[in-house]
Amino acid sequence: MRRLVNDGYEAVEEMLAGYVAAQGKYVDFAENDKRVIVSKQMSEEPRVRIIVGGGSGHEPLFLGYVGKDFADAAVVGNINTSPSPEPCYNAVKAVDSGKGCLYMYGNYAGDVMNFDMGAEMAADDGIRVETVLVTDDIYSAENVEDRRGVAGDLIVFKAAASAAAKGLDLDAVKQAAEKANANTFSMGVALSSSTLPVTGKAIFEMKEGEMEVGMGIHGEPGIKRTSIEPADKVVDQIMGYLIEEMNLTSGEEVHVLINGLGGLPVMDQYICYRRVDEILKEKGVHIHSPLVGNYATSMDMIGMSITLVRLDDELKDLLDTPCDTPYFKVD
């Protein structure tokens, strides 16, 4: 295992302790729960609170986006595992200011079950909690509502957080998140598995020199497994699926996110972005504020995903609204 850990069973707790120590300007643990990271820069005025979360191993998702005018809390589960209902509930108790809370996370069965239970516990205390599931992974299911959430989490979270920062009510904040989700489309490629710190072994088998187009961030099966191909050919395949799914046409405007999955060099990510830029310009599509980097990883997995967001004036304004967190800032 090419990882620097101590006891694999303590990896999440030790990571969280290190994160809070390093990012003390922005975050702290909830008073009664060290699986809940809360913002130290929440607004003093009451507003809708944004709570995100899911399994560990995807850093900086989710905890890296807790800060000023972005997420107010992140609930952290074990590696690739949903947090249990109690910390989901504790996050609400830690940040609610009387305006209600919005849960947001990727569409995975365990997360849905446990966050729903947390919302029910909060309802028993008279606190309204709504939920928006992120479903941007276009290959993961034919029906949109059954799709997984991947790097598009960042986009949907940002739209909702900006709406909350503007003082909108819970219904309007939820609507902003749903609109962002409906206009966010992602697809990725993996060149290796990630390694579990508990076992020291790969999550799934992949031979040297192979790649899988469409693979999920937990190793969910993709479209096809082939020999590794040049970057341009890989990007052409992914962009073909995304453009078709979106029915993207000349004159439109999009937000582009090239997301590294943890083990792919930034150099390679920019090589991929170069080809995305060429394809969209050739098609007459304008690119607004592109992002390139590791935003939603799968530990040490070598791979990347491309996310396209269809923009209008409302979504552009929400994505451009200032925020300040350890891993995402807009000035």
**Which are the contacts of 143, defined by CB distance < 8 A and separation ≥ 6?**
none
Which residues, at least 6 apart from 117, have a Cβ–Cβ distance to it below 8 Å? 85, 88, 89
Q: Which of 184, 243, 222 is nearest to 301 (CA)?
A: 222
Name the catalytic one among 218, 255, 286, 288.
218
Chain centroid offset of residue 74 CA: 12
218 is catalytic: yes
- In DSSP terms, which residues pair with 226 in a beta bridge? 211
Nearest CA to 108 out of 143, 150, 138 is that of 150
Q: Where are the alpha helices (DSSP H) in 125-203?
A: 153-165, 170-182
| Residue tagged active-site, from 58, 255, 286, 288 | 58
Contact 91, 126 (CB under 8 A): no
The tokens for 113 are 């079950």
Distance, in Å, from the CA atom of 316 to the CA atom of 252, rounded to the nearest integer, reads 13
Give the pair of three-digit tokens for residue 287: 């690119």
Q: Is 58 a catalytic residue?
A: yes
Give strand pairing partners of 50. Answer: 102
117: nearest Cα among 89, 82, 151: 89
- Active-site residue set: 58, 218
